[in-house]
Amino acid sequence: MHAKVNILGVNVSNIANNELLDTLAQCIRQKQKIQVCITPVNSVLAAIKDPQVLAVYNNAAFVLCDGMPIKWASSFLNTPIQERITGLDLLPNLVELSAKNNFSFFLLGASPGVGEKLKQTILQQYPNCKVAGIYVPPFMKVFSGVENDKMIAAVNEASPDILLVSLTAPKQDIWIAQNMHLVNAPVQVGIGGAFEVMAGLAKRSPKWMQSAGLEWLFRFLQEPKRLFRRYFIEAPLFIPLIIKQKLKGGRF
C-alpha cells in the first residue's frame, strides 16, 4: 500500500514514478487487475459535483497528481505529494516498461488515425514493442450497449497486459471502473490526451513552463475555445476550496 493525500475529498496517490512503474510491472506478472487514474484539477472538481466520479477515484488503485496546482495544494495542506506524474510523462514510461519486459498494450480511444500514428512512433523507438491492438470508438457522450460490447470485445481479443484509454477525464475513468471486471487486462489506465503528444500530433509545453506550473497556459493557447471554461471558469474555484479545507484542519 502507498500513502494518499486528501485533496478536496479525492485521495491522491503520494508515490514516486519509479515505485509506481515497479508496482505496475508486479501487477502484470501477478495478473492483478488495477485501475490507474490521472487527475488534473478539473477531475478533482468533477468529483466534488458527482458522487459517482468521487467513488471511481477513491476506489482506484492509483490516482496520480497531474497538475502543479494539486501538488502545490498538497504542500499548502502540510501533506506534500512527492512527485507530479502526468499522463504525458506516464505514457512514454509505460511504453519503455513494456518494451523492456515484453509486456503488450492496447490503445483505446482518441481521434481516428491517432492510434495508428502513435503505433508507428512507438515502433520506431522500440521495434520489438508489442502494440496488441487499436480501437477508436465513435464520439458519444455515453456509449451505447452495442458500442460498449465492441470496445470490450476488441480489447479482450488482444488480451493485453496494459490497457491505455484516451477518452478524456473523468469519462475514461468512469468507463474503466464500470467495465474493469469484463476487460481482460491487468493494468487499466485513463491516459488522457497523451496519445496525440507522443505521436507528435500535438506539442507539449517547454520544460520551464512545466516546472513553473504554466503547462495549462501552453495548452490553452493551443486550444482556447475548448479549454476556456476549464481554465478560466472552473479552475479558479479550486483555490478557495483548498483554503476552506486548510481552515478545517485538512478535512473536506
32, part of any domain: yes
HSE at residue 202, side-chain half, CA atoms within 13 A, is: 18
**Residue whose C-alpha cell is 490526451:** 193
Q: With contact defined as beta carbons under 8 Å apart, do 97 and 186 qualify?
A: no
The predicted model scores a pTM of 0.92
Q: How many domains does the chain have?
A: 1
Q: What are phi and psi of 163, to 5 degrees?
A: -105, 120
3-class secondary structure, 196: helix
pLDDT in tens, the chain (252 residues): 799 999 999 999 999 999 999 999 999 999 999 999 999 999 999 999 999 999 999 999 999 999 889 999 999 999 999 999 999 999 999 999 999 999 999 999 999 999 999 999 999 999 999 999 999 999 888 899 999 999 999 999 999 999 999 998 899 999 999 999 999 999 999 999 899 999 988 777 788 888 777 787 777 788 788 778 877 877 788 999 999 999 998 888
Q: With contact defined as beta carbons under 8 Å apart, do 184 and 159 qualify?
A: yes
What one-letter code names the amino acid at 157? Answer: E
252, part of any domain: no
180, part of any domain: yes
Closest CA to 57 of 153, 170, 168, 165: 170
64, part of any domain: yes
CA separation for the pair 231, 135 (Å, rounded): 30
173, part of any domain: yes
Domain that holds residue 28: 4-247
